[in-house]
Chain A
């Protein structure tokens, strides 16, 4: 998992992400995020990297038990 900056233009990405949520209600925003998540995950592809990202995102909320492989 990359933890150093990897965007070609991070400010532009963030601005565009916010713009995409414009005019959506809470449920629609959640749906947009979920769609975006799956699209991005497919760009990453690598299972080990994705697992690290999932774990890193979860860290804020304490441990969880990953499914048995």
Chain B
């Protein structure tokens, strides 16, 4: 398979063959443990995650390619938490090789920079804060990976046309080039996107709010060297003082997003000659460029009330959609899969009760709500809806040129961090007072010395299998016998290690750079135990731990409970 998707005049996407499944000719309806509907970012991430954990799935997709046929780059910015998951799934190196690493962002008004940040300074992860990559490449890498692992039954050209809930699963009717068939699933994961057929069959309210924002997206290739930074104009002189985004993606293609007026005829402004004229105004008369793709985009927000409906789970845009500011669209769908994969694997293996799956919605829905709120604020800043709003924005921009505080008010997107589960977003602002990660927060993929003596990163402890990782620090040797008994009993779901020094007889995790200790909030001489979930979020932090306390925390985590923050 070629690794070059770019051809003059557009992207050439790989095509996958439809293979007639045995279901078409079988005498009886076949039943599968997990059926994933939709091979987009969230569906493929889930299939890949489950495959890594040893779980076979059937994936149904109505198309025979990745991306949207003939469509553009779409989601382009992948955030650190997403990249860390991709490291675990074994495709980070391909993303790193193909994508564009960046950390500096600038917000401009006219020709002046009013706000600037460098996200690299706060990161100890093996992964950078952001990598830009056309969405279809990421999907492509995930398809290759699930094929390589070999546990996923990818069914292209397979459109869901009927859906019926059963007491213990669902019955799905599928339309294919070779005819229709019916299959049954114990669990259905609906990753079919914003217009989900299954969600609408179940009559789930999406509470839709259509935005007035209209954008014209242009993928453009040109030779002019520009800085590899995220530039966002609140008011771009070359776009009638509306917003513009400028970002570099793979294959030396720039993504230029132009905000349009609410009354714009979006089809007209997306015509190649009209788009080319806009790009010429931005780049100047003498810069040669080539339009790779142009298309319109209008935003909407929607959110269902519960991401679980019995045996059906909703991920990505079928559960939540928002204006895609700040790497919150595709990333949130992928992080849905990061949250659900290990839970589903544990429930399927009988090691955790079904109740664990309720925590999927309880954790991911607030994350989606937070994204919707955050992107709504950005959208409103970029598109004032009244003269009063415009007046306030003008004031913020003019002050930003003089005073640091006002630079923060110029909102062209708040870049996503991984969500802290179990805490109201308001308490996140006060987080800096707590030492180390909070319960519910993800630990970054920091460098560690692995038990086998190899240098690695935290993610390496989480490859394969649905296992929690427990880390002891400063433990008293007197606990050793009880801890070893616990380690043996819980081995299938919990892998326990000691940080830096062997006192209990467990394998030792070295922390040569002190990054893990700093991330966890370890304190010299203080006995602490950390329970990390398979998605690398902290499930519990126990001071003066013993085997009984650890066992209780693990039971709680298997029921989807986070241990409340210590007093």
Contact = CB atoms under 8 A, between A and B. Distances in A.
B399 interface: yes
Nearest to B376: A67
B283 interface: no
B193 to A, nearest CB: 25
Given A68-B373, A69-B373, A69-B426, A39 B399 contact: yes
A42 interface: yes
Contacts of B394: 31, 34
B405 A31 contact: no
Contact of A38 (B373, B399, B425): B399
Contacts of B391: 30-31, 34
Contact of B395 (A38, A67, A69): A38
A30 B399 CA distance: 14
Contacts of B425: 69
B409 A38 contact: yes
B398 interface: yes
B373 A35 contact: no
Contact of B406 (A31, A38, A67, A68): A38
Interface string B400-414: 000101100100000
B392 interface: yes
Given A30-B391, A68-B373, A38 B426 contact: no
B291 interface: no
Given A38-B406, A38-B409, A42-B405, A31 B373 contact: no
A49 interface: no
Contacts, number: 30
Interface in A9-68: 30-31, 34-35, 37-39, 42, 67-68
Interface in B422-436: 425-426
A26 to B, nearest CB: 11
B396 interface: yes
B380 to A, nearest CB: 9
Contacts of A42: 405-406
Contacts of B395: 31, 34-35, 37-38
Interface in B343-359: none
Given A42-B405, A68-B373, A69-B373, A35 B399 contact: yes
A38 B407 CA distance: 12
Contacts of A68: 373
Contacts of B398: 31, 35
A31 B399 CA distance: 11
A5 B384 CA distance: 35
Contacts of B403: 39
A68 B425 CA distance: 12
Nearest to B404: A42
A66 to B, nearest CB: 12
Contacts of B392: 34, 37-38
A30 B395 CA distance: 10
Contacts of A30: 391
Nearest to B405: A42
Nearest to A36: B395
Contacts of B409: 38
Nearest to B372: A68
A51 to B, nearest CB: 12
B365 to A, nearest CB: 14
A38 B399 CA distance: 9
Contacts of A39: 399, 403
Contacts of A69: 373, 425-426
A30 B391 CA distance: 8
Nearest to A35: B395
Nearest to B409: A38
A37 B399 CA distance: 11
Contacts of A31: 391, 394-395, 398
A67 B372 CA distance: 12
Interface string B142-168: 000000000000000000000000000
Contacts of A38: 392, 395-396, 399, 406, 409
15 contacts: A31-B391, A34-B392, A34-B395, A35-B398, A35-B399, A37-B392, A38-B392, A38-B396, A38-B399, A38-B406, A39-B403, A42-B406, A68-B373, A69-B373, A69-B425
Given A34-B394, A38-B396, A69-B426, 10 more contacts: A30-B391, A31-B395, A31-B398, A38-B392, A38-B399, A38-B409, A39-B399, A39-B403, A42-B405, A67-B373
Top 8 closest pairs, chain A to chain B, by CB: A34-B395, A35-B395, A42-B405, A34-B391, A34-B392, A38-B395, A30-B391, A35-B399
